[in-house]
């Protein structure tokens, strides 16, 4: 190699070494680049809570007892949830589309009960014993709220009426309570009593 090539090679190696040293010694210029990624929100969105009711199903069903159903359930839904009708029962005796309400006792009379009940008069939901009726003279706030159409406001109004006017002498007297008219009375009259 010729001398000038040695000199050029020496200068080139010197520049590379100087650049490397300067790279490590000099402070960083500018700001570092930050990469930002959006993390997806994996929390589930709030959904509407399904309103539920509880009813007591007895009689000619396979699994009688307390069941929970959606608020807009009908008699067919209650029977299905209670394990269906007993074998040999004619479902044509029932109004399967009849709406049901929270706190209701549904008694499907067995075949041997039908002859002694008023079941054949088209009423598929019966309140067969005095125990299943709500005594409007003694019922507490929570019990009154079990009646269809009676919410917290009307239950409190019934209690206040009793405190101010005394006991109800007839179930129809409940219509004297503010907010309870003939339509609501007709809805609850088969579910209430005034006791002995």
Q: What are the chain's domains?
A: 52-131 (3.10.20), 133-193 (1.10.150.320)
Write the CB contacts of 56 (distance below 8 Å, at least 6 apart in sequence): 65, 66, 67, 104, 105, 106
Q: Does 158 have pLDDT greater than 90?
A: yes
Please report which helix (H) or strand (E) contains residue 66, including its range.
Answer: strand 65-70
Q: Rounded to whole angstroms, what are the CA distances from 168 to 27, 89, 140?
A: 93, 40, 15
pLDDT digits (tens, 9 = 90+) for 82-120: 999 988 777 777 888 888 888 888 888 776 654 333 333
pTM, to two decimals: 0.39
The more confident residue out of 9 and 114 is 9
Please say whether the dihedral angle defined by the alpha carbons of residues 119, 91, 113 and 115, taken in this order, is positive or negative. Answer: positive
CA 11 to chain centre: 84
Q: Does 58 have pLDDT greater than 70?
A: yes
Average pLDDT over residues 2-28: 82
Confidence of residue 2 (pLDDT cuts 50, 70, 90): confident
pLDDT digits (tens, 9 = 90+) for 119-151: 333 334 443 434 468 889 988 888 898 888 888
Confidence of residue 54 (pLDDT cuts 50, 70, 90): confident
| Ramachandran angles phi, psi of 97, nearest 5° | -90, 0
Do 63 and 85 touch, CB atoms closer than 8 A?
no
pLDDT digits (tens, 9 = 90+) for 17-52: 888 887 777 766 667 677 777 777 777 666 556 788
Do 75 and 98 touch, CB atoms closer than 8 A?
yes
Write the CB contacts of 108 (distance below 8 Å, at least 6 apart in sequence): 57, 58, 59, 60, 61, 79, 85, 89, 94, 124
């Amino acid at each position: 190699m010729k001398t000038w090539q040695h000199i050029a090679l020496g200068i080139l190696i010197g520049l590379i070494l100087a650049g490397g040293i300067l790279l490590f010694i000099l402070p960083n210029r500018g700001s570092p680049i930050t990469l930002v990624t959006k993390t997806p929100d994996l929390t589930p969105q709030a959904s509407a809570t399904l309103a539920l009711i509880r009813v007591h199903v007895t009689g000619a069903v396979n699994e009688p007892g307390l069941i929970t159903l959606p608020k807009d359930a009908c008699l067919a839904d209650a029977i299905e949830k209670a394990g269906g009708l007993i074998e040999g029962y004619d479902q044509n005796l029932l109004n399967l589309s009849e709406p049901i309400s929270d706190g209701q006792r549904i008694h499907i009379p067995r075949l041997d009960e039908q002859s002694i009940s008023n079941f054949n008069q088209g009423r598929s939901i019966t309140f067969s014993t005095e125990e299943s009726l709500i005594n409007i003279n003694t019922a507490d706030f929570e019990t009154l709220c079990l009646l269809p159409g009676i919410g917290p406001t009307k239950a409190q109004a019934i209690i206040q009426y009793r405190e101010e006017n005394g006991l109800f002498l007839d179930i129809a007297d409940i219509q004297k309570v503010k907010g309870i008219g003939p339509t609501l009375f007709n809805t609850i009259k088969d579910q209430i009593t005034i006791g002995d």
